[in-house]
């Protein structure tokens, strides 16, 4: 009974937050519209770092990303339900363990538990050094998907707009297909996939806005059923080249 009360309260908080939040237009942090990740990378302005694999930008917004936000709570809601009985999860695109730092004390993870972060080599290297310095022994880092531990839980929070491979390829490179897939901040649109460039001051990073219907078909073809989904109004954007995008979250479960 207590758990049901908590669930209902959390849902009320989320719904109240959704009603208060309004979409924001994409400002000068986005530039251009391209047909592919490679085309966007080729269009990075001269003198800027291209992509995210640079030590110089590892610390950008780190403290902010370690804070819980309203759109984290659906992910925490489902993590609390799928992590009991498992010994690890893979946090793909997990930066320097920002979600571990934001969630771990609230989730009451099993012991022992490995929170395995996959990211590009420079970010993984910086994250590993910071975790060692902070004494976070349960937080590990990988720069190859194939090297991550076999797990039943995959978390991708804010990864899908930046990754340079299809999501199906990411899943197939894991040691095994995870039973539970938790996705957050997935940039989508009602139309063909398009890539723009997001500016990070000294760097420009390809930012993919996915065809919503096509993405759902991809999950279904891999054997995943959508158990829950939500939108994040404050992370919606309006781009002059391709119109409005929506930021979405999903909990998908392997049905076979």
Backbone angles phi, psi at 34, to 5 degrees: -135, 160
Structure tokens at 44: 């990075």
pLDDT tens digits, 27-60? 448 888 899 999 999 999 888 877 655 666 555 6
Give the whole-angstrom CA distance, residue 213 versus residue 196. Answer: 19
- pLDDT at residue 1 tops 70: no
CA torsion angle 27 52 172 84 (round to 10): -80
Q: Which regions of the chain does DSSP assign to beta strands (E)?
A: 30-34, 49-50, 88-92, 114-118, 139-142, 153-157, 180-189, 194-199, 203-211, 224-231, 237-239, 243-254
pLDDT digits (tens, 9 = 90+) for 76-99: 999 999 999 999 999 999 988 999
Domain ranges of the chain: 2-24+56-196+207-236+244-254
Contact (Cβ atoms closer than 8 angstroms) between residue 86 and residue 151: yes
- Determine the Cα–Cα distance for residues 154 and 83; give it in Å rounded to an integer: 11
CA–CA separation, 76 vs 91, rounded Å? 13
Q: Quick one: average pLDDT of 124-145?
A: 93
Please state at what angle helix 73-82 crosses helix 2-20, rounded to 10 degrees: 160
Question: Which of 194-208, 212-226, 240-254 is predicted most confidently?
Answer: 212-226
DSSP letter at 30 equals E
Structure tokens at 66: 């370690």
Residues contacting residue 195 through CB under 8 Å, at least 6 positions apart: 33, 34, 35, 36, 37, 39, 40, 206, 207, 208, 209
Beta bridge partners of 181: 154, 252
Q: Give the CATH number of domain 2-24+56-196+207-236+244-254; options: 3.40.50.150, 3.40.309.10, 3.40.1260.10, 3.40.50.720.
A: 3.40.50.150
Q: What is the tally of helices (H) and strands (E) in the chain?
A: 8, 12
- Where does residue 83 fall: left (phi above 0), alpha (psi -120 to 50 degrees), or beta otherwise? alpha
Task: Give SS3 for 56.
Answer: helix
pLDDT for residue 12 is more than 50: no
Task: Show Cβ contacts of residue 143 under 8 Å, excluding neighbours closer than 6 positions.
Answer: 118, 119, 120, 121, 124, 125
Given a cut of 60, whether residue 205 has pLDDT beyond it is yes
User: Residue 52: what pLDDT?
Assistant: 59
Average pLDDT of the chain to the nearest whole number? 84
Instruction: Identify the band that residue 66 occupies on the pLDDT scale cut at 50, 70 and 90.
Output: low
Whole-model pTM: value is 0.84
Question: What per-residue confidence (pLDDT) applies to 25?
Answer: 39
The DSSP symbol for 181 reads E
């Amino acid at each position: 009974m207590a758990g049901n009360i908590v669930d209902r309260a959390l849902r009320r908080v989320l719904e109240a937050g959704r009603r208060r939040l309004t979409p924001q237009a994409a400002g000068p942090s986005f530039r251009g519209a391209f047909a592919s990740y490679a085309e966007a990378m080729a269009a990075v302005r001269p003198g800027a770092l291209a992509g995210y694999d640079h030590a110089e930008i590892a610390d950008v917004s780190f403290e902010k990303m370690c804070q819980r936000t309203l759109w984290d709570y659906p992910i925490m809601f489902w993590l609390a339900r799928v992590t009991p009985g498992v010994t690890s999860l893979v946090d793909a695109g997990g930066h320097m363990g920002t979600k571990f730092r934001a969630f771990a004390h609230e989730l009451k993870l099993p012991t022992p538990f490995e929170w395995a972060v996959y990211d590009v080599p420079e970010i993984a290297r910086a994250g590993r050094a910071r975790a060692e310095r902070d004494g976070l022994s349960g937080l590990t880092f990988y720069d190859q998907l194939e090297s991550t531990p076999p797990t039943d839980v995959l978390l991708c929070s804010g990864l899908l707009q930046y990754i340079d491979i299809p999501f199906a390829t990411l899943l197939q490179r894991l040691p095994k297909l995870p039973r539970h897939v938790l996705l957050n901040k997935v940039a989508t649109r009602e139309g063909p996939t398009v890539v723009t460039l997001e500016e990070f001051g000294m760097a420009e990073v390809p930012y993919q806005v996915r065809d919503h219907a096509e993405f759902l078909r991809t999950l279904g073809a891999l054997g995943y059923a959508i158990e829950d989904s939500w939108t994040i109004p404050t992370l919606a954007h309006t781009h002059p080249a391709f119109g409005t995008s929506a930021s979405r979250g999903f909990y998908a479960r392997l049905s076979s």
